Structure 1
């Protein structure tokens, strides 16, 4: 594998929990401190939550490894069990009798053990990992175990560790008695961007023999954007990026390699989703047909036996108010001031004009559409959700992806690209509206926008790693064709194929191998994976092929 090429003893980003690679972020250290304090106090339950991959199991292992001789611990990680199996698992972990199927015998054995350890001045801690999988009756059994106590203290301290759903389960009405006994709750947050860099460097340092690999600043930014600071996702994308760099005989992981790694990971996820959908399609179709037949039968029976006769003079006329789409006003392009602004200076000044609202207005203005943005939409925190909601209101769809210079040029549509300031805490939203040779020309501002010229390399280095492209679904091609699309979408797709020159498309609702062949031809032309599946990016490519459509292009 690649580890020798980069001077590593082994792959530094394996997913196995190797203690040699232990890295505690600030969030982990705080969680560990609170957990240690709560156990030392010995009161009530402790609840530790965190998203998938944030290092909850690692935290448990660190805690267990650092217990002193006066503390005895039982660690349960298999939580797909019933209440009897829970008691058997606890006793087995503590070296007690566990073969019996008598709940009373198991609890009596455990109680005698706990009293003996209490007399000897020792603490007993029960840690249950993946606790969100526990059934309510099993959690209730844990609550009953907490009743094992002396006049002055509990005999056993119970720590529940799980995903955020654990909190929702414990907050339910059925478990309100349990919730009242939780004296400490701590949520493990993902790592910050700086901690992510430290984490990556730490793992490479531990695995390094020669230390000949470098990861660029832009690559670090993309890794953080993709992973959100979740260690497991960091490991996945770093491992893939190193593999790609090895395949290219490069010892520097730059932005391009990182984007390729992220794209490959996303493609694998997407392909798996499509495969599962395809395998289940015939099941859904059969169930749908049966369901429709039953509904029709029920309606006929209802009308036969329940509907009153309608006689002359009794019929009523109902007026249905038409649903009007959001008003879209076509407009001539507003005057653009060809006033160049220094890009680095622009970012450092934190220009107030490069807002999300101005960006979506400018992007749709390239389509000859003037819009207004509902002020309540500005309260939407997620950028892509904001852009999608505004675009949909005016009849546009939205394609979002990792920033890819080649794909930008092939799709050839105006795009919104977020850029980050020097302190990486402020985002500026610019609209790429023209490509002139080796220059990308961006717009920012309000009614009188100004231009900023940068090279593609500068756009990649300062970009947040994302791109958002508004587009029009002229033929209303709904769903992913042919996997989740209705028959009408397939017919409209074939109509579009005929209009752009594929005259052999047969006008029916069957996708067929011939249609797939036409789609793959278009996909290959636009640098899209030629799988014959019509998703959003393939729809954009198809519309670009129909020259009669009023589509703004970058060049």
Structure 2
């Protein structure tokens, strides 16, 4: 659509692993060199790991394009197979007979083929993608295949590509023989900021376009949203070009990237105050992830969202919420923002110390009436209020509020801030009653008059009162909270067992094994863990969802995982529900 408009000969940010677009960062270049050496020398086993979208598949395909002509390749891209099905797939990829269900016949046909290739000066390579989903029995079959050899050389080389969970899988005691045969292990990291700039420019240049099509600040925003993961960079850059094309722009700026991120999340712009140049984007980190999930893997879908899909925007200027004054010049605004950031460096700790005191009173101080959200929300600074809420939320989960450096930046990204504290993040739409059943504090969106939206931490919830934190803690009536409930919540949680992503029937591996252990511990799964997401596991997950008032899908999505952790006492977490002691203290004040 936009290729001709921007003078491109091709779409530069396709999600297909096209080797011609391969960008070798210093990390990828080093990995490429080691893999090429392993392929040339005929090493037995190679394991390459990395987060989703870091370029594992693209790297290996580029490697194969440069590999010697005498190398025959069998590519297994669906590893959820039995041992026999794996052999059938490998033989079919090599063009060998593959219909037999007799493992002995399949292995003999493969061995004869490999010996013939050896006599011709060639050899065979098996590449298994998404290897973290392999069953232990299948991995053992691969190990046995590596025994196909002559006196002086291996007949078959095996390359495993997988997510970080593959490393944990290979450390299991029953797979120690396989682990000992891995000659090369390599883990791919995301791109840093400078590499993201070079990556975007490289792909534009390969596509025949202007490498400076994106403004430098726009690429900074792409990096902030994507975390340097190439696949997520591609998703967001492609959408940004569409936004620029529809607006008739010849160059893509940060505003177009930010809008593209929100569009990808199918959400609204919570706060986008153009005059001050900063963007609160609690859900933006999720935005690109969800978009990539549509083509790469499934993520949890919101329980329900705003039906009209209309962006809700709130401008904030130098005077305050009413906006009568024009914004200050850019230079003065930046100076003012820096001073405020420095002055607020300890505000998160102060909020944490005073939140408990606020809960002991009727409204934050003895004798005061409960705060009224209609009066309070317009007076809350959108950015500083969110800073205070996020800082306290991080402190509840990790003991570490926002640092001075984190407060000094112009973007609040709860996904990134949580990841630094080993926490996962998800944004969902839900009623207050569902959040209450889950029982965890959350950053919530509250709606005021004329479309005003503010973020607050809902730290405690009782039968009559709710304890909120903006840039300071306040207490409101529960009915007042319900009247201003906007329906969108932002949750952090600690994935102690590394369940990760979404687990569904048919999945296999250590994450499913860990899920089954937790369900067994909760008394919902009678059978011992097997690592296979079967019918009994699905029914156990449905039982958990039913007990927590969730939709009974039988799929362990992030919300179900959150509910599972919250139901087990051995995993410490902050609690949302007001205790009897706290309720009694509030009632006496």
> Do they fold alike, i.e. is TM over 0.5?
yes
Work out the CA distance in 1 between the residues paired with 2:98 and 2:228: 41
Alignment partner, residue 73 of structure 1: 73
User: Displacement of 1:224 after TM fit?
Assistant: 0.9
Return closer, same or farther for 1:156/1:430 CA change in 2, 3 Å cut-off: closer
Work out the CA distance in 2 between the residues paired with 1:498 and 1:42: 66
Alignment partner, residue 26 of structure 1: 26
Residue 205 (structure 2) pairs with residue 234 (structure 1):
no
Residue 435 (structure 2) pairs with residue 485 (structure 1):
yes
User: Displacement of 1:3 after TM fit?
Assistant: 2.6
Work out the CA distance in 1 between the residues paired with 2:193 and 2:447: 46
Indicate which of 382, 387, 396 corresponds to 1:411. Answer: 382
User: Displacement of 1:519 after TM fit?
Assistant: 10
Alignment partner, residue 429 of structure 1: 405
User: Displacement of 1:534 after TM fit?
Assistant: 4.6
Q: Which runs of 5+ in 1 are unaligned?
A: 280-340, 373-390, 396-406, 419-426, 432-443, 445-462, 471-477, 490-495, 501-507, 510-517, 524-531, 538-555
**1:103-152 deviation line (CA, Å, top 9, x unaligned):** 11111111122222223332222211121121111111011111112222
Say whether the 8 Å CA contact 1:363–1:414 is kept in structure 2.
no
1:385-396 → structure 2 map (5 Å cutoff): none
Say whether the 8 Å CA contact 2:9–2:207 is kept in structure 1.
yes
Work out the CA distance in 1 between the residues paired with 2:379 and 2:430: 22
1:31-110 → structure 2 map (5 Å cutoff): 31-110=31-110
Residue 298 (structure 2) pairs with residue 277 (structure 1):
no
User: Displacement of 1:360 after TM fit?
Assistant: 4.3
Work out the CA distance in 2 between the residues paired with 1:121 and 1:498: 75
Say whether the 8 Å CA contact 1:6–1:213 is kept in structure 2.
no
Say whether the 8 Å CA contact 2:22–2:59 is kept in structure 1.
no
Work out the CA distance in 2 between the residues paired with 1:208 and 1:157: 37
Work out the CA distance in 2 between the residues paired with 1:345 and 1:39: 55
Say whether the 8 Å CA contact 1:363–1:415 is kept in structure 2.
no
Say whether the 8 Å CA contact 1:44–1:182 is kept in structure 2.
yes
Q: Say which SS state the counterpart of residue 303 (structure 2) adopts.
A: helix
Alignment partner, residue 548 of structure 1: none
Say whether the 8 Å CA contact 2:302–2:429 is kept in structure 1.
no
Q: Say which SS state the counterpart of residue 232 (structure 1) adopts.
A: helix
Work out the CA distance in 2 between the residues paired with 1:3 and 1:138: 45
Residue 241 (structure 2) pairs with residue 215 (structure 1):
no
Q: Say which SS state the counterpart of residue 253 (structure 1) adopts.
A: coil
Indicate which of 442, 465, 479 corresponds to 2:411. Answer: 465
Residue 182 (structure 2) pairs with residue 164 (structure 1):
no
Q: Say which SS state the counterpart of residue 533 (structure 1) adopts.
A: strand
Residue 105 (structure 2) pairs with residue 129 (structure 1):
no
User: Displacement of 1:465 after TM fit?
Assistant: 3.4
Work out the CA distance in 2 between the residues paired with 1:261 and 1:51: 23
Q: Which runs of 5+ in 2 are unaligned?
A: 268-285, 291-297, 306-330, 360-377, 391-402, 418-427, 440-445, 451-462, 465-479, 492-589
Paired residue total: 363
User: Displacement of 1:169 after TM fit?
Assistant: 0.8
**1:205-229 deviation line (CA, Å, top 9, x unaligned):** 22245x4973222211111111121
Return closer, same or farther for 1:346/1:277 CA change in 2, 3 Å cut-off: closer
Q: Say which SS state the counterpart of residue 233 (structure 2) adopts.
A: helix
User: Displacement of 1:482 after TM fit?
Assistant: 4.5
Alignment partner, residue 15 of structure 2: 15
Q: Say which SS state the counterpart of residue 53 (structure 1) adopts.
A: coil
Say whether the 8 Å CA contact 2:204–2:211 is kept in structure 1.
no
User: Displacement of 1:255 after TM fit?
Assistant: 1.9
TM-score when normalising by structure 1 = 0.56
Residue 182 (structure 2) pairs with residue 182 (structure 1):
yes
Q: Say which SS state the counterpart of residue 48 (structure 1) adopts.
A: strand
**1:472-524 deviation line (CA, Å, top 9, x unaligned):** xxxxxx994257234899xxxxxx99999xxxxxxx99xxxxxxxx999979x
Return closer, same or farther for 1:85/1:219 CA change in 2, 3 Å cut-off: same
Please say which structure displays the higher CA radius of gyration: 1
Alignment partner, residue 146 of structure 2: 146
Residue 485 (structure 2) pairs with residue 535 (structure 1):
no
Work out the CA distance in 2 between the residues paired with 1:172 and 1:393: 49
Work out the CA distance in 2 between the residues paired with 1:273 and 1:235: 18
Say whether the 8 Å CA contact 1:278–1:483 is kept in structure 2.
no
Alignment partner, residue 198 of structure 2: 198
**1:50-84 deviation line (CA, Å, top 9, x unaligned):** 11001111112111111113322222212121111
Q: CA RMSD in A?
A: 4.6
Q: Say which SS state the counterpart of residue 59 (structure 1) adopts.
A: helix
Q: Say which SS state the counterpart of residue 81 (structure 1) adopts.
A: coil
Work out the CA distance in 1 between the residues paired with 2:126 and 2:174: 23
Residue 346 (structure 2) pairs with residue 361 (structure 1):
yes
Return closer, same or farther for 1:43/1:68 CA change in 2, 3 Å cut-off: closer
Work out the CA distance in 1 between the residues paired with 2:357 and 2:61: 50
User: Displacement of 1:197 after TM fit?
Assistant: 0.8
